[in-house]
């Protein structure tokens, strides 16, 4: 298992997405959050729907996946917030060391 993850969620509002990112980073559950616009197509309430969303990618340590997911769920306005973690297969040692340092300082 990888020691590092990229955890992704989405939000329907840029301000809310940035606020969620700041809360997670402030709690030291991730070292970095990237917030950017996307267009999603998904099945919801019995039909195909589409909408503008803001994706948030968090860079974190694998051992923080559960508390990070809990934090996202508690702060999120969606009935079913996306929380998907993808392992980091490889990365620059200096970046991975930075993620460790910034998520261990809290």
pLDDT tens-digit series, residues 55-103: 999 999 999 999 999 999 999 988 899 999 999 999 999 999 999 999 9
DSSP 89: -
- Res 1 pLDDT > 60: no
- Kindly state the percentage of the chain with pLDDT values over 70: 97
The sign of the dihedral angle between the CA atoms of 93, 5, 77, 13 is: positive
pLDDT attached to residue 2:
80
Reference 89, options 68, 62, 69; nearest CA is 62
Residue 34 structure tokens: 């990237």
Say if domain 4-104 classifies as CATH 3.30.70.120: yes
Give the other-Cβ count within 10 Å of 71's Cβ.
Answer: 19
Distance spanning both ends of the chain, measured CA to CA: 24
74, 79, 95: which is closest to 24 by C-alpha? 74
Q: Is the dihedral of CA 58, 38, 54, 72 positive or negative?
A: negative
Q: Is the pLDDT of residue 105 over 80?
A: no
Average pLDDT over residues 32-55: 96
- pLDDT value, residue 106: 55
Average pLDDT in the 15-37 region? Answer: 97
């Amino acid at each position: 298992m990888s020691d590092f993850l990229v955890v992704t969620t989405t939000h329907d509002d840029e301000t809310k997405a940035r606020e969620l990112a700041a809360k997670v980073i402030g709690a030291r559950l991730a070292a970095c959050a990237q917030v950017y616009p996307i267009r999603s197509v998904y099945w919801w309430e019995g039909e195909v729907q589409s909408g503008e969303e803001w994706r948030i990618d968090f860079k974190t340590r694998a051992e923080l996946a559960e508390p990070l997911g809990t934090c996202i769920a508690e702060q999120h306005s969606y009935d079913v917030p996306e929380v998907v973690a993808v392992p980091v297969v490889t990365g620059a040692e200096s970046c991975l060391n930075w993620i460790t340092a910034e998520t261990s300082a809290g």
